[in-house]
Amino acid sequence: MERVNDIKLNKEVFGITPNDNVLRDAINVCRSGLRQGTYKVKTRSEVSGGGRKPWRQKGTGRARQGSIRAPQWRGGGIALGPVPRDYKIKMNRKERQLALKSALSYKNKDKEIIVVDKIELTTPKTKEMLKQLESLSISDKKVLIVMSELTENVILASRNLQNILIMEPYELNVLDIVNADYLLATVDAIKEIEEALK
């Protein structure tokens, strides 16, 4: 794995003036999509019990009650509690592309993109992956590795490293780019990204 010296990045993808508003919206879209929204509480119609009126309406001196499972009772239903919902937000394709270009342009501007000819490991060992990253001085950084074709050795060697995330170009998203300290990509992956976004 060696740095490529003579690659020219497409300015339409890696050299635009970043749009901060669209970038922020895209991050919100990604974060919202990660929310499961599977929590649920029971309303008074779903808790068990409370079928009959606890005491007669008048004459007891106590407040009138219709059910022992009303919200004000212990063990009663929850009023206006959370129910399952989908948090996904829609975003136009052109906005998504602009957000990706903005994130990549920021990375390029900050000199946080490293392009290598290829990433090859002879064994699926974490030690070998660490050695490759140390040669680029990024072993202690959060690194997003983008490869046009994932190999088994690379996947196995990096899955124990918490600061490494590996993906193919079509999986690239704004949140992972922004979260990473460095974007490490192969030449083929860069070409695929440029082809998709130009």
Evaluate whether residue 56 is within a structural domain.
Answer: no
SS3 letters for 151-188? Answer: CHHHHHHHCCCCCEEEECHHHCCHHHHHHCCEEEEEHH
Evaluate whether residue 138 is within a structural domain.
Answer: yes
DSSP-assigned states of every residue in the chain: --B-SS----HHHHSS---HHHHHHHHHHHHHHH---------TTTSS---S-SS-SSSSSSPP-S-TTSTTSTT-PPTT------------HHHHHHHHHHHHHHHHHTT-EEEES----SS--HHHHHHHHHHTT-TTS-EEEE-SS--HHHHHHHTT-TTEEEE-GGG--HHHHHH-SEEEEEHHHHHHHHHHH-
Residue 4 has pLDDT above 90, yes or no: no
Predicted local confidence at residue 2, as pLDDT: 65
Predicted local confidence at residue 48, as pLDDT: 93
Q: Say which CATH number the domain at 131 has.
A: 3.40.1370.10
- The Cα 71–Cα 16 span in angstroms is 56
The pair of three-digit structure tokens given for residue 93, joined into one six-digit string: 């394709």
The mean per-residue pLDDT over the stretch 156-181 comes to 93
Q: What is the pLDDT of residues 79-119, one digit of tens each?
A: 999 999 999 999 999 999 999 999 999 999 999 999 998 88
Count: domains in the chain: 1
Predicted local confidence at residue 120, as pLDDT: 87
Evaluate whether residue 119 is within a structural domain.
Answer: yes
The mean per-residue pLDDT over the stretch 130-145 comes to 91
- The Cα 60–Cα 34 span in angstroms is 53
- The Cα 160–Cα 109 span in angstroms is 30
Evaluate whether residue 131 is within a structural domain.
Answer: yes
Residue 5 has pLDDT above 70, yes or no: no
Report the chain's mean pLDDT, rounded to a whole number: 92
Q: What is the pLDDT of residues 7-66, one digit of tens each?
A: 788 899 998 999 999 999 999 999 999 999 999 999 999 999 988 999 999 999 999 999
The mean per-residue pLDDT over the stretch 159-173 comes to 92
Lowest-pLDDT choice from 4-13, 81-90, 143-152, 153-162: 4-13
In the block, tokens 């009772």 appear at 73
Evaluate whether residue 1 is within a structural domain.
Answer: no
Evaluate whether residue 70 is within a structural domain.
Answer: no
- The Cα 123–Cα 100 span in angstroms is 33
The mean per-residue pLDDT over the stretch 169-175 comes to 93
The pair of three-digit structure tokens given for residue 126, joined into one six-digit string: 């974490």
Parent domain of 129: 11-19+91-197
Evaluate whether residue 168 is within a structural domain.
Answer: yes
∠ CA 126-127-133 to the nearest 5 degrees?
Answer: 90
CA atoms within 13 A on the CB side of 91: 24
Evaluate whether residue 173 is within a structural domain.
Answer: yes
